[in-house]
């Protein structure tokens, strides 16, 4: 059995009356370590080495699987309270409270990081020309803006769009519900999620084909052809194309709420509860297949193999999340690993880690500082980047994020919540 965690601070509380999931903290930490490794290797220059990409290049590039895992985690944590409210197992979050919580979670730390990083170590990528676009989360939608040491924050543009759309998706699911009972409410939400996944996959197919046609077009290109080269690369990371990964997290939320009212635990849930290493082992097999069968360098958006990888990443994300969502207190080696306190703490401060890591890595990569004879450049950049980013992440959380996040839910909202003690704890979402 995994030991029950201490009551989490109010700063990271879910909507009042809703359960929490402690192991998701550590999954978020693992995801950020993956992203950090990809960016550290890139700043170390392994993909620009005249001697060729080193043997570990293919392994590093496939760590980008962390991105769909982030989307799935966010969708699961944010959508689940709404679904629980629809079936009456918890008080449905108010849209105003939801918006306030999301704004406090994302905006202040991001704005402070942008401002301080512009002072030092400096933001690359023509920052002074369009600084206001970053503060308004518009960097994702103009290709020439989404460059430099804060280009990774395109993810926030997509997240905020999802936040704005989520309450409307819940209402749509309510309209599609057949009947007023629990099963009907869940069916309506499931129809919305299935539709989002299908539309997103279709979007990926269209963009992949469009990108391929533009890439092989002869020169000189027409304005339409020139535009189509930029368009697929931009839209491939926008919300319509990313909704397949988000929909998978939403599907986990629906399933989790459904299991609360199920009279009998399905066999596959028992299998995950009793054998949590199995979904992780299957995820590892799929991931290694992508490593061995794919190229050593990240592909452009056009090849079909890229599309296959994107779909596979979604499957891997669900498999990694499964032991943390279903039977999360049942124990097992995987859950014991995810319950490690250092890993959980890293997940707690992971937003600051996300914001600060790339500007610091770019500075290290550009200056070539901290070089140690005999140590591979990738290891140097990774280690120094981690040591410099971690204090920034901790300061961001303890000095800014935690005090503000205590204001997420008003006292009267907490007082009206159902009198249930959260069974688990997890990240702020």
User: Taking residues 211-226, what's their average pLDDT?
Assistant: 41
What digits encode the pLDDT tens for the residues 138-157?
A: 888 877 777 788 989 989 99
Cα(18)–Cα(27) distance, rounded to whole angstroms? 20
Residue 105's nearest CA partner among 402, 387, 421 is 402
Q: Return the pLDDT at 238.
A: 83
Q: Return the pLDDT at 10.
A: 55
Q: What angle do CA 132, 135, 139 make, to 5 degrees?
A: 80
Residue 296's nearest CA partner among 127, 37, 46 is 46
Contacts 24+ apart (CB under 8 A), 330-335: 330/1, 330/2, 330/273, 330/274, 330/276, 331/1, 331/2, 332/274, 332/275, 332/276, 332/277, 333/276, 333/277, 334/276, 334/277, 334/280, 335/2, 335/23, 335/276
User: Quick check: 294 pLDDT over 90?
Assistant: no
Helices marked H in 177-299 — which ranges? 182-215, 223-235, 239-260, 267-274, 277-293
The Cβ-side half-sphere exposure at 331, using a 13 Å CA radius, reads: 2
Confidence of residue 197 (pLDDT cuts 50, 70, 90): very high
Phi, psi dihedrals of residue 13, rounded to the nearest 5°: -75, 145
329 vs 312, residue with greater confidence:
312
Lowest-pLDDT range, 38-42, 74-78, 297-301?
297-301
SS (H, E, C) 20-43: CCCHHHHHHHHHHHHHHHHHHHHH
Mean pLDDT estimate for the chain:
83
User: Quick check: 112 pLDDT over 90?
Assistant: yes
User: Taking residues 363-368, what's their average pLDDT?
Assistant: 82
Cα(219)–Cα(273) distance, rounded to whole angstroms? 57
Asked whether 301 and 358 are in contact (CB, 8 A), the reply is no
Q: Return the pLDDT at 426.
A: 33
Asked whether 109 and 352 are in contact (CB, 8 A), the reply is yes
User: Quick check: 228 pLDDT over 70?
Assistant: no
209 vs 45, residue with greater confidence:
45
Q: Return the pLDDT at 424.
A: 32
Domains of the chain, by residue range, sit at 10-416
Element housing 425 (H / E): none
Q: Return the pLDDT at 47.
A: 77
Q: Return the pLDDT at 103.
A: 95
Q: What angle do CA 424, 427, 428 make, to 5 degrees?
A: 115
């Amino acid at each position: 059995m995994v030991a029950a965690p201490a009551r989490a601070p109010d700063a990271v509380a879910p909507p009042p009356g809703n359960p929490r999931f402690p192991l998701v903290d550590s999954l978020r930490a693992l995801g950020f370590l993956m992203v950090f490794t990809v960016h550290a290797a890139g700043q170390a220059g392994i993909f620009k080495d005249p001697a060729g990409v080193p043997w570990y290049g293919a392994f590093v590039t496939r760590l980008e699987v962390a991105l769909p895992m982030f989307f799935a985690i966010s969708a699961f944590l944010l959508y689940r309270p709404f679904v629980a409210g629809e079936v009456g197992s918890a008080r449905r979050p108010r849209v105003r409270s939801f918006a306030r919580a999301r704004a406090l979670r994302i905006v202040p730390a991001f704005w402070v990081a942008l401002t301080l990083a512009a002072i030092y170590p400096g933001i690359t990528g023509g920052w002074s020309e369009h600084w206001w676009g970053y503060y308004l989360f518009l960097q994702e939608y103009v290709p020439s803006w989404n460059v430099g040491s804060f280009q990774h924050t395109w993810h926030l543009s997509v997240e905020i769009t999802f936040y704005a759309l989520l309450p409307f998706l819940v209402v749509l699911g309510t309209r599609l519900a057949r009947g007023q009972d629990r099963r009907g409410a869940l069916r309506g939400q499931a129809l919305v999620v299935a539709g989002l996944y299908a539309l997103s996959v279709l979007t990926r197919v269209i963009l992949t084909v469009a990108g391929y046609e533009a890439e092989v077009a002869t020169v000189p290109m027409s304005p339409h052809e020139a535009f189509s080269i930029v368009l697929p690369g931009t839209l491939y990371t926008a919300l319509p194309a990313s909704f397949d990964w988000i929909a998978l997290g939403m599907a986990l939320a629906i399933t989790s709420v459904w299991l609360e009212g199920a009279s009998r635990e399905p066999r596959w849930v028992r299998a995950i509860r009793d054998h949590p290493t199995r979904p992780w082992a299957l995820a590892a097999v799929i991931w290694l297949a992508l490593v061995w069968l794919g190229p050593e360098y990240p592909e452009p958006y056009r090849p079909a193999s890229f599309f296959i990888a994107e779909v596979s990443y979604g499957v891997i994300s669900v498999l990694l999340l499964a032991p943390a969502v279903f039977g999360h207190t049942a124990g097992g080696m995987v859950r014991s690993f995810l319950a490690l306190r250092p890993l959980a703490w890293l997940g707690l401060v992971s937003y600051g880690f996300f914001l600060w890591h790339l500007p610091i890595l770019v500075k290290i990569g550009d200056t070539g500082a901290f070089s140690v004879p005999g140590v591979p450049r990738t290891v140097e950049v990774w280690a120094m980047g981690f040591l410099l980013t971690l204090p920034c992440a901790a300061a961001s959380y303890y000095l800014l994020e935690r005090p503000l996040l205590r204001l997420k839910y008003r006292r009267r909202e907490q007082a009206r919540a159902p009198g249930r003690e959260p069974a688990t704890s997890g990240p702020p979402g």
